[in-house]
């Protein structure tokens, strides 16, 4: 198990952490999810047949694990919402995550993009992160998401358009609180 | 141009400038945490198994205690039970009943009686959970096996469509697979078969698979792996050794990672260990066949039964035989598998034991057995739909879905 872990960690850990972090935007949650990903990978490594690349397989598991996290969060959020009957209570919970130092030092424009990513759908975020932050090809992205290449292209296009609109709205809005 | 607006190209470049976020925890610490969560597979499973099966088992035990108390209290004496049973049979036979015969039942209403009568043989079916096997009965309804995948695209799961009003023509079923599957209810995903036409020739002698000339096989080797698994399962009973492939105008199909092929070999579907797949609490429980154990193919029934004692909870796959259960196996007869369990506290007229029995029957079938002779301490006679006093035939289908 140690050898397999070393191999995955040395080759992919930085990318894996980065990928999950940008999906969840919280360091502790990222650590938990990444840990879960490794546990799944190491437990099922004997079932990995090498028919996809290791990285594709690893990122697919990471994506599913993150989706599971959001599903669980959604259920608990629903319970909280039901309890308070007020959505703003839930929003406050989400905004409490501290900004990582790497983001604090960014200029306002990049900080804006960092925040606006959260207004994209889970699929759009996935494509933006894999394509631009992970520098993966359309094909590799399609493999990880189990999509066709054309679906990746379409989602990417829509995500960029959405970000453009959001940025204009934010700048034009002036006093809006984002 | 609006100065406030980035071009697409500029925006893409800006996104690329977002910083790399470093993991602050050390590699060693992470590994220690992972190790802590994966001690030995056995210990983890034992804990999960005991807890998961505790509730249905306790429910069964509670029901048994209540039944015992009711019987001991003399509310229903044995002769009354016999009398009720006979009367009930008369009612079902359509015999006229008079008031005095109704009075003989005391205050017990008909529905209560039915339930009580069943309790004398075993627990009511709801206590035992869903029946997840299909046996051809005297009706001999046509069945068609389709396959779906778990949410992580790791396992192919068979579903037996039972058509109660069918032409019996498989072409009517294999060309609209997605219409039979409620992905949310089952917690599964379907392969995009809607782009593929299957055609059985007359007498089911040959099977053609036709796609459009511009057909694109779904990307990724996991899809290719899953496709092969699914077609193996779907067409197993027809004894084809291959599917003939074609597009509208050529005799070859590009199956992505499988290659450009004019025919696709069908692999045998055997030597399997059946476990439970359940994606979420709200989704249906399904039997899932596992064909590997610790990275190796399952070669004999002993290994399959051991594999059935292991959870793979990360994939929502769960053991069907309790980890702690011990058994003796007699495999010398090619037709009959004999399995005798030693006493185990959670065995009883409950869902866990019922699912175990069904899973062993499905597993035994995949090794060529035709029946299983069970000995389960504390259980005899009728157990749900099984008569444990006799060897039980292996099923005709797994995860049945009745079509009306």
* Residue extents of the structural domains in chain B: 41-128, 139-265, 278-288+297-398
B window 146-185, beta carbon within 8 A of A: 151-154
- CB contact at 8 A, B308 and B314: no
pLDDT confidence of residue B216:
92
Question: From CA A14, how far away is CA A16, in angstroms rounded?
Answer: 5
Query: Do A109 and A152 share a domain, yes or no?
Result: yes
Q: What is the mean pLDDT of chain B?
A: 79
pLDDT of the residue at B42:
40
Tokens 């690349």 — which residue?
A: A53
Is residue A28 classed exposed, middle or buried when 0-12, 13-18 and 19+ CB atoms within 10 A define those classes?
exposed
Name residue, tokens 């069945």. Answer: B143
State the average pLDDT for chain A: 81
User: Residue range B63-72: average pLDDT?
Assistant: 50
Write down the pLDDT at residue A78: 58
Residue A85 has a pLDDT of 52
- B3's CB contacts (< 8 A; 6+ apart) are none
**Mean pLDDT, residues A83-107:** 62
> Cα B363–B364–B370 angle (5° rounding)?
140
Q: Strand B143-150 relative to strand B386-387: parallel, antiparallel, unpaired?
A: unpaired
A4–B contact, CB cutoff 8 A: no
CATH of the domain at A177: 1.10.10.10
* Cβ separation B8–A40 shorter than 8 A: no
User: What was the ipTM of the complex prediction?
Assistant: 0.84
A80 compared with B364, residue with greater pLDDT: B364
Q: Is it the case that residue B239 has pLDDT exceeding 80?
A: yes
Rounded to whole angstroms, the Cα distance separating A155 from A145 reads: 12
How high is the pLDDT of residue A49? 60
Chain B, 33 to 92: residues with Cβ < 8 Å from chain A are: 33-35, 37-38, 41
* DSSP strand pairing (B317-318 vs B382-383): unpaired
Mark whether A27 and A83 lie in a shared domain: yes
pLDDT at A57: 84
Helical spans, DSSP H, in B350-404: 351-366
Q: pLDDT confidence of B97, banded at 50, 70, 90? A: very low
- Residue B223 at interface with chain A, using a CB cutoff of 8 Å: yes
What's residue A22's pLDDT? 95
CA distance B44 to B38: 7
Could you tell me if A61 and A52 are in contact, meaning their C-beta atoms sit under 8 angstroms apart? no
Q: What mean pLDDT do residues B91-113 have?
A: 32
- Rounded to an integer, the average pLDDT of B119-145 is 72
Residue A38 reports pLDDT greater than 70 = yes
B21–A46 C-beta distance less than 8 A = no
In chain A, the number of structural domains is 2
**B202 touching A, CB under 8 A?**
no
Contact between B219 and A142 using a beta-carbon 8 Å cutoff? yes
- In sequence order, the 6+-apart residues with CB closer than 8 A to the CB of B149 are B155, B156, B157, B188, B189, B190, B191, B226, B230
Q: Which of A98, A123, A146 is the last residue of a domain?
A: A98
Instruction: Report pLDDT digits (tens) over B266-324.
Output: 999 999 999 999 998 888 999 999 998 888 899 999 999 999 999 988 889 999 999 98
Residues A53 and A117 in one domain: no
CATH classification of the domain holding A74:
1.10.1740.10
pLDDT band for position B103 (cuts 50, 70, 90): very low
pLDDT band at A86 (very low <50, low <70, confident <90, very high): very low
Answer whether residue B254 shows pLDDT above 70: yes
Domain that holds residue A45: 1-98
How many residues are present in chain A?
A: 178
The closest CB to that of A44, out of B8, B31, B314, belongs to B314
Residues A80 and A3 in one domain: yes
A42: CB partners within 8 A, 6+ apart: A1, A4, A5, B34, B38
CB of A75 within 8 Å of any CB in chain B?
no
In whole angstroms, give the CA distance from residue B250 to residue B79. 76
- Distance of alpha carbon B299 from the chain centroid: 21
Give pLDDT, residue B95.
31
Cβ–Cβ under 8 Å, residues B261 and B224: no
Note whether B5 contacts A146, CB cutoff 8 Å.
no
Residue B173 to residues B34, B44, B149, B166: CA-CA distances in angstroms? 46, 42, 18, 10
Verify whether the Cβ–Cβ distance A143 to B219 is below 8 Å: yes
Q: How far is CA B298 from the centre of its chain?
A: 18
| Percentage of residues of chain B with pLDDT beyond 70 | 75
Q: What is d(CA B400, CA B384) in angstroms, rounded to the nearest whole number?
A: 17
Per the structure block, which two tokens stand in for B202? 């007359």
Q: Are residues A75 and A124 in the same domain?
A: no
Give the distance from residue A148's alpha carbon to the nearest chain B alpha carbon, in angstroms.
6
A76 and A149 assigned to the same domain: no
In degrees and rounded to multiples of 5, residue B91 shows phi and psi of: -60, -45
Q: How confident is the model at residue A97 (pLDDT cuts 50, 70, 90)?
A: low
The predicted pLDDT at position B64 comes to 54
Percent of chain B at pLDDT > 90 equals 50
Task: Dump pLDDT digits (tens) for B196-231.
Answer: 999 998 888 899 999 999 999 998 888 899 999 999
Question: For residue B113, how many other CB atoms are within 10 A of its CB?
Answer: 19
> Is residue B336 within 8 Å of B371, Cβ to Cβ?
yes
Q: Which residue, of A70, A98, A126, is where some domain finishes?
A: A98
Distance of CA B149 to the CA centre of its chain: 12
Report residue A147's pLDDT band, with 50, 70 and 90 as the boundaries: confident
Residues A82 and A48 in one domain: yes
In this predicted structure, what is the pLDDT of residue A106?
84
Tell me whether residues A22 and B21 touch, CB distance under 8 A: yes
Supply B311's token pair: 């959870």
Is A57 in the same domain as A114?
no
Average pLDDT of the residues in A7-11: 94
- Residue whose C-alpha is closest to residue B156's, from B211, B59, B263, B231: B231
DSSP label at A129?
Answer: I
Q: Which of A2, A34, A51, A156 to mutate to test the interface with B (most CBs of B within 10 A)?
A: A51
| Rounded Cα gap, residues A36 and A39, in angstroms | 5
pLDDT of residue A155 exceeding 50: yes
Q: Which of B261, B250, B264, B174 is nearest to B214 (CA)?
A: B250
User: Among A90-99, B93-102, B261-270, B365-374, which is the least confidently predicted range?
Assistant: B93-102
Give dist(CA B44, CA B380) in Å, integer.
32
- Is the model more confident about B404 or about A2? A2
Q: What is the distance, to the nearest Å, from the Cα of residue B25 to the centroid of all Cα atoms in its chain?
A: 41
Per-residue pLDDT, averaged over B36-54, amounts to: 47
Reduce the DSSP state of residue B96 to 3 states and report it: coil
Q: E-assigned strands of B23-152?
A: 133-134, 143-150
C-alpha gyration radius of chain A:
18
Task: Using a CB–CB cutoff of 8 Å, tell me whether B221 touches chain A.
Answer: yes
Interface with A, mutate which of B5, B6, B8, B21 (most A CBs under 10 A): B21
pLDDT value at position B294? 83
**Residues B348/B356, Cβ–Cβ less than 8 Å:** no
pLDDT for residue B119 is more than 50: no
Of B93 and B293, more confident: B293
Contacts of B11 in chain A (CB under 8 A): 113, 160, 163-164, 167
């Amino acid at each position: 198990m140690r050898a397999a872990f070393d191999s995955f960690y040395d080759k992919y850990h930085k990318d894996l952490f980065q990928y999950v972090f940008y999906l969840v935007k919280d360091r502790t949650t990222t650590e938990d999810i990444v840990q879960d990903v490794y546990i799944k990978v190491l437990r099922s490594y004997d079932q990995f047949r090498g028919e996809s690349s290791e990285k594709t397989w690893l990122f697919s598991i990471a994506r599913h694990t993150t989706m599971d996290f959001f599903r669980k969060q959604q259920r608990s959020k629903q319970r909280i919402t039901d309890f308070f009957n007020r959505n703003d209570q839930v929003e406050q919970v989400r905004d409490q995550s501290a900004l990582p130092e790497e983001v604090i030092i960014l200029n306002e424009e990049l900080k804006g993009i960092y925040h606006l990513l959260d207004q994209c759908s889970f699929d759009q975020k996935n494509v933006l992160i894999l394509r631009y932050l992970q520098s993966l090809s359309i094909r590799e992205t399609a493999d990880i998401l189990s999509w066709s290449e054309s679906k990746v292209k379409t989602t990417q296009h829509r995500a960029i358009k959405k970000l453009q609109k959001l940025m204009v709205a934010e700048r034009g809005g002036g006093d809006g609180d984002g | 141009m609006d100065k406030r607006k980035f071009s697409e190209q500029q925006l893409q470049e800006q996104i690329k400038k977002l910083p790399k976020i470093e993991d602050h925890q050390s590699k060693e610490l992470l590994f220690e945490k992972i190790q802590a969560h994966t001690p030995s597979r056995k210990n983890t499973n034992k804990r999960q198994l005991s807890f998961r099966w505790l509730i249905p088992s306790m429910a069964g035990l509670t029901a048994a205690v209540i039944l015992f108390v009711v019987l001991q209290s003399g509310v229903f004496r044995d002769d009354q039970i016999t009398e009720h049973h006979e009367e009930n049979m008369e009612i079902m036979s359509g015999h006229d009943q008079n008031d005095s015969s109704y009075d003989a039942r005391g205050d017990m209403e008909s529905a209560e009686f039915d339930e009580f009568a069943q309790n004398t043989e075993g627990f009511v079916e709801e206590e035992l959970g869903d029946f997840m096997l299909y046996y051809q009965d005297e009706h001999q309804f046509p069945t068609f096996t389709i396959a779906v995948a778990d949410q992580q695209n790791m396992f192919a799961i068979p579903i037996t469509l039972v058509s109660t009003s069918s032409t019996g023509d498989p072409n009517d079923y294999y060309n609209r697979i997605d219409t039979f599957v409620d992905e949310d209810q089952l917690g599964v995903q379907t392969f995009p078969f809607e782009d593929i036409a299957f055609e059985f020739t007359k007498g089911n002698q040959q099977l053609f698979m036709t796609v459009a000339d511009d057909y694109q096989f779904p990307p990724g080797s996991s899809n290719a792996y899953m496709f092969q698994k699914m077609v193996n399962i779907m067409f197993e009973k027809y004894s084809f050794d291959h599917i003939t492939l074609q597009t509208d105008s050529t005799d070859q199909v590009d199956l992505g990672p499988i290659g450009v092929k004019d025919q696709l070999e069908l692999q045998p579907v055997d030597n399997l260990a059946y476990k439970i797949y359940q994606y979420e609490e709200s989704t249906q429980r399904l039997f899932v066949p596992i064909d590997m154990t610790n990275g190796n193919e399952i070669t004999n029934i002993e290994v399959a039964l051991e594999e059935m004692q292991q959870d793979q909870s990360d994939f929502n796959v769960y053991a069907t035989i309790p980890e702690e259960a011990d058994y003796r196996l007699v495999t010398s007869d090619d037709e009959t598998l004999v399995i005798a369990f030693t006493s185990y506290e959670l065995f009883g007229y409950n869902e866990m034991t019922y699912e175990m029995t069904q899973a062993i029957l499905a597993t035994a079938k995949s090794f060529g057995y035709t029946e299983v002779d069970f000995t389960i301490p504390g259980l005899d006679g009728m157990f749900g739909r099984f008569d444990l006093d006799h060897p039980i035939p292996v099923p005709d289908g797994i995860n049945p879905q009745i079509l009306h």
